[in-house]
Structure 1
Amino acid sequence: MKNLNLQAVMIDLDGTLVDTIGDFEVALNRALADLQVPTANRALIERSIGKGSEHLIRTVLKHQLALPGVAGNAPELDQLFSPVWERYEHHYLSINGEFSNVFPGVMEGLEQIQTLGLPMACLTNKPISFTLPLIKDKGLAPYFSKVFGGDSFERKKPDPLPLLKTCEALQSLPARTLMIGDSSNDAQAADAAGCPVVLMTYGYNHGEPIQNTPALAWLDSLVQLQLNNS
């Protein structure tokens, strides 16, 4: 990878650093069961991840309420959203990290970035109340000088605002701040913010091949990130 003369690095969480699909599946399905809504399969949940918990819940609820035998016999989505969200938050906080694992190569990759002396921020659409305990539990917190969630700013990725605000916090120029993510959300936000972006191939990209999304590189492991920042 060419010398980007970087000042800092921003890294997404779900699907980039940690495989959290198990946490999403358990928490959301327990919430749905609490409200007598049919539970969802992992594939639906995985392709609905990335745009924040509100989007996840609304997308899955819409799908489940349209199932044969359910449509017309259940409350409307708007009526169910708040109670499902309340139960989802309860269950997620109770199992946060229990059904998730750090992806192979992540710790080694973070060590490599840290060796270059580049400050790092974790920037995710996950609520900050879910994010902070998770990165602490998984041993990731020491690598990040800043951590921002989906409710840290007025808008979420793919809007560029979270990236621009994170650059301000890191005191780095967007053009010299690398975004590392796993989805088109990360790439769209980075492009709009003027940040270079690298995408991981193993994450959650709404069921679409990540290689179809423009980026500097598509990596199978964070240890493959070769930065020459001298």
Structure 2
Amino acid sequence: MTRPAIEHVQAVAFDLDGTLCDSIPDLAAAAAAMREHLGLQPLPEKVVESYVGDGIGTLVHRVITNERDTLADEALWEKGFVFFMQYYRAHLSDFTRPYPETEAGLGLLKSLGIPLVVITNKTEILAVELLKQLGLADYFSLILGGDSLPEKKPSPLPLVHAAEVLGIDHANMLMVGDSKNDILAAKAAGCLSVGVTFGYGDMTLLSQDQATKPDWLIGKLPEIYENLQPQKAQDEN
């Protein structure tokens, strides 16, 4: 694997669900509880997994209708959304865990003095609380949720905003994620995209289309550090 063709990495942005942690068990449990509350039968966990990535509001529509692109009745959605948020917030990390070597990878990058940020479509308050419960929040200089700004991924706005807050050129920021939204947002923002092969998205399939092909694939987070280390050494010589 070759490291990205970039002169100087000034920051690394990460998606949350499917990139830093596996949150499907708790999301699926909340989905099952919500459907039961609404008098519906539970959905298989794999189906719920396929609906994750565009924020909880959209997830609730998909879980109620069991369709990816169909909107639920507004009153039913509102009842479901309120229940889902209350249930999920009370059970954020019952079964959610960081992926193996996540903390090691973050620690290695911090040792290089590179600021790290989270850019997720999850509601900001839930993202912040989940990262705290997983013991990961202190690694990040900035945490942006799907409701932090007027637009969310695949819009480039959150990535451009993060770069502006950090005072860096967004062309020198990596965006690490597992989904189409992450890659599209990175490309639109002019950032390098790093796809993880262990998340919810099918990186093999995404890599077949130039529009969603990441610049770089990794199988574990420490690979980012391993590929940036030679660059740092060269910069210091």
Residues 98 and 133 (structure 1), Cα distance of their counterparts in 2 relative to 1, 3 Å cut: same
Counterpart in 1 of 2:185?
189
Counterpart in 1 of 2:114?
118
Judge conservation of contact 1:181–1:200 (CA < 8 Å) in 2: yes
Judge conservation of contact 2:170–2:190 (CA < 8 Å) in 1: yes
CA distance in 2, matches of 1:153, 1:106: 27
Which structure 1 segments of 5+ residues have no match?
Answer: 65-75
The answer to which structure, 1 or 2, has the higher relative contact order (CA under 8 A, 6+ apart) is 1
Residues 127 and 168 (structure 1), Cα distance of their counterparts in 2 relative to 1, 3 Å cut: same
Query: Alignment partner for residue 162 of structure 1, among 158, 161, 164?
Result: 158
Counterpart in 2 of 1:217?
216
Judge conservation of contact 1:201–1:210 (CA < 8 Å) in 2: no
After TM superposition, the structure 1 stretch with the greater mean CA deviation from structure 2, 147-156 or 216-225, is: 216-225
Counterpart in 1 of 2:24?
21
CA distance in 2, matches of 1:9, 1:137: 22
Query: Alignment partner for residue 57 of structure 1, among 60, 63, 79?
Result: 60
CA distance in 1, matches of 2:5, 2:206: 23
How far did residue 36 of structure 1 move? Answer: 0.7
The TM-score normalised by the length of structure 1 is 0.90
CA deviation vs aligned residue, 1:177-202 (integer Å, no higher than 9, x gap): 11111111000000001000101011
**How many pairs were matched up?**
219
Judge conservation of contact 2:196–2:203 (CA < 8 Å) in 1: no
Q: Secondary structure at the match of 1:46?
A: helix
Counterpart in 2 of 1:46?
49
How far did residue 78 of structure 1 move? Answer: 2.5
Judge conservation of contact 1:202–1:220 (CA < 8 Å) in 2: yes
How far did residue 210 of structure 1 move? Answer: 4.5
2:23 partner amino acid: T
CA deviation vs aligned residue, 1:138-183 (integer Å, no higher than 9, x gap): 1111110111111101111011111111111111111001111111
After TM superposition, the structure 1 stretch with the greater mean CA deviation from structure 2, 219-228 or 147-156, is: 219-228
CA distance in 1, matches of 2:16, 2:85: 18
Give the aligned CA root-mean-square deviation in angstroms: 1.7
How far did residue 43 of structure 1 move? Answer: 1.2
Runs of 4+ in 1 over 4 A off after TM superposition: none
Counterpart in 1 of 2:37?
34
The TM-score normalised by the length of structure 2 is 0.87
2:77 partner amino acid: F
Counterpart in 1 of 2:126?
130
CA distance in 2, matches of 1:36, 1:140: 37
Judge conservation of contact 1:158–1:188 (CA < 8 Å) in 2: yes
Q: Secondary structure at the match of 2:39?
A: coil
Counterpart in 1 of 2:77?
81
